[in-house]
Amino acid sequence: MVHLLAMSSPLPIVGSISWTDLTVPDATALSQFYSAVVGWKSAPLDMGGYADFCMQTPSTDATVAGICHARGDNVDLPAQWLIYINVADLDASLRLCKQNSGRVLTRIKTTGQGRFAVIQDPAGAVAALFEPAQPKPKKSAPKRRAPRKKAS
């Protein structure tokens, strides 16, 4: 599953990279590898029967990437660092990908944070295109009626 960084604005900026993750058969071993090599801290994230990992900077504990098991919705993701690029309209972007000699590698997947699919550009590089979910409108408090005056 995709673990997106918390954004300070209501919606991420179209064209910006919102997340990076790595999906592999043994996420536990790879999280330990990156902890040893670059100093990241590894915070397990319960996925219901197994854990994926939020990788955090050693000095601030800020989550900067995810390392995920190739299970469930992630089973068909390539074993490489994958960036998620924000798009305004995923369906339109996927059509344009195909029209411009790219390939769509996965079906559209939906998370609580939005929808994404993995593409391959004409040079062979892959990336995920991500359409953020629209924020739900805040419910306003019901209007209170003025109390009725009692008839005398």
Rounded (5°) CA angle 68-102-126: 25
* Mean pLDDT score across all residues of the chain: 87
Q: Kindly calculate the radius of gyration of the chain based on its CA atoms and give it in whole angstroms.
A: 21
Res 125: pLDDT = 94
Q: What is the pLDDT of residue 137?
A: 67
| Residue 2 pLDDT | 45
Parts of the chain with a pLDDT under 70? 1-10, 137-152
The per-residue pLDDT for range 26-47, each reduced to its tens digit, is 999 999 999 999 999 999 999 9
Report the pLDDT value the prediction gives residue 28, as an integer from 0 to 100. Answer: 95
pLDDT at 6: 42
